[in-house]
Chain A
Amino acid sequence: MGFLDIDRVTKSFGAVKVLNETDISVEKGEFLVLVGPSGCGKSTLLNMIAGLESVTAGEIRIDGARMNDVRPAERNIAMVFQSYALYPNMTVRGNISFGMEMHKIPKAEREEKIAQVAELLQITNLLDRKPGQLSGGQRQRVAMGRALTRDPDVFLFDEPLSNLDAKLRVDMRTEIKKLHQKLGTTIVYVTHDQIEALTLSTRIAVMYAGDVQQIGTPQQIYDDPANMFVAGFMGSPAMNLLPATVARAEGGPAVRLDLAGGEAVTLPFPRATGLDAREGEAIVLGIRPEAMTDPEGADRDSGALHRVDLPVDVVEPAGSDTYVTVSLGGKDAIGRFRAHTAAESGARAPFVFDMEKAVAFDPDTERRIA
Chain B
Amino acid sequence: MAAPTANAVTAGTGDPARTGGTRLSARLPRLVLYALLGAFCLYYLLPLYVMVVNSFKPLEEITSGGMMALPGSWTGAPWRTAWSEAQIGVQPTGLRPYFLNSLLMVVPAVTIATLLGALNGYVLTKWRFRGATVLFGLILFGCFIPFQIVLIPMARTLGFIGAAGTVRGLVFVHVVYGISFATLYFRNYYAAFPTELIRAAQIDGAGFFQIFFRILLPSSGPIAVVCVIWLFTNIWNDFLFGASFADYDSQPMTVALNNLVQSSTGVKEYNVHFAGAIMAALPTLLVYIVAGRFFVRGLMSGSVKG
Residues of A within 8 A of B (CB): 47, 50-52, 71-74, 77-79, 81-89, 98-99, 102-103, 130-134, 136, 139, 146, 163
Interface string of B181-223 (1 = CB under 8 A from A): 0000000000000101101111111100010001100110000
A136–B201 CA distance with the chains assembled, in angstroms = 20
Residue of A nearest to B299 (CB): A88
Select B202's contact among A52, A103, A132, beta carbons within 8 Å: A52
Q: Are A73 and B203 within 8 A (Cβ)?
A: yes
Contacts of A72 on B, CB cut-off 8 Å? 199, 202-203
Q: Are B303 and A86 within 8 A (Cβ)?
A: yes
Residues A52 and B199 in contact in the complex (CB < 8 Å), given A89-B219, A98-B206: yes
In the complex, B304 has a CB within 8 A of chain A: yes
Question: Can you identify 27 A-B contacts, CB atoms within 8 angstroms?
Answer: A47-B199, A50-B203, A71-B202, A72-B199, A73-B204, A74-B205, A81-B200, A83-B194, A83-B196, A83-B304, A84-B303, A84-B305, A85-B303, A85-B304, A86-B302, A87-B197, A87-B219, A88-B197, A88-B299, A89-B215, A89-B218, A89-B219, A98-B206, A98-B214, A102-B206, A131-B302, A136-B305
Select B204's contact among A47, A98, A133, beta carbons within 8 Å: A98
Residues A99 and B205 in contact in the complex (CB < 8 Å), given A85-B196, A87-B197, A88-B219: yes
Q: Are B214 and A88 within 8 A (Cβ)?
A: no
Residue of B nearest to A132 (CB): B302
Residues A85 and B194 in contact in the complex (CB < 8 Å), given A98-B201, A132-B301, A132-B303: yes
Q: Are A78 and B201 within 8 A (Cβ)?
A: no
Select B205's contact among A103, A134, A136, beta carbons within 8 Å: A103
Contacts of B206 on A, CB cut-off 8 Å? 73, 98, 102
Select B303's contact among A50, A131, A136, beta carbons within 8 Å: A131
Contacts of B299 on A, CB cut-off 8 Å? 88-89
A72–B196 CA distance with the chains assembled, in angstroms = 13
Residues A78 and B203 in contact in the complex (CB < 8 Å), given A87-B215, A88-B219: yes
Q: Are A85 and B302 within 8 A (Cβ)?
A: no
Q: Are B204 and A102 within 8 A (Cβ)?
A: yes
A215 to nearest B CB, angstroms?
26
Select the residue from A72, A130, A134 with max chain B CB neighbours within 10 A.
A72
Residues A99 and B204 in contact in the complex (CB < 8 Å), given A85-B199, A89-B219: yes
B294 to nearest A CB, angstroms?
14
Contacts of A130 on B, CB cut-off 8 Å? 302
A132–B303 CA distance with the chains assembled, in angstroms = 6
A52–B303 CA distance with the chains assembled, in angstroms = 20
Q: Are A84 and B205 within 8 A (Cβ)?
A: no
Contacts of A88 on B, CB cut-off 8 Å? 197, 219, 299-303
Select the residue from B200, B219, B301, B302 with max chain A CB neighbours within 10 A.
B200
Q: Are A73 and B302 within 8 A (Cβ)?
A: no
A123 to nearest B CB, angstroms?
15
Residue of B nearest to A131 (CB): B302
B131 to nearest A CB, angstroms?
15
User: 4 tightest CB-CB pairs across the interface, nearest first?
Assistant: A132-B302, A73-B205, A88-B303, A99-B204
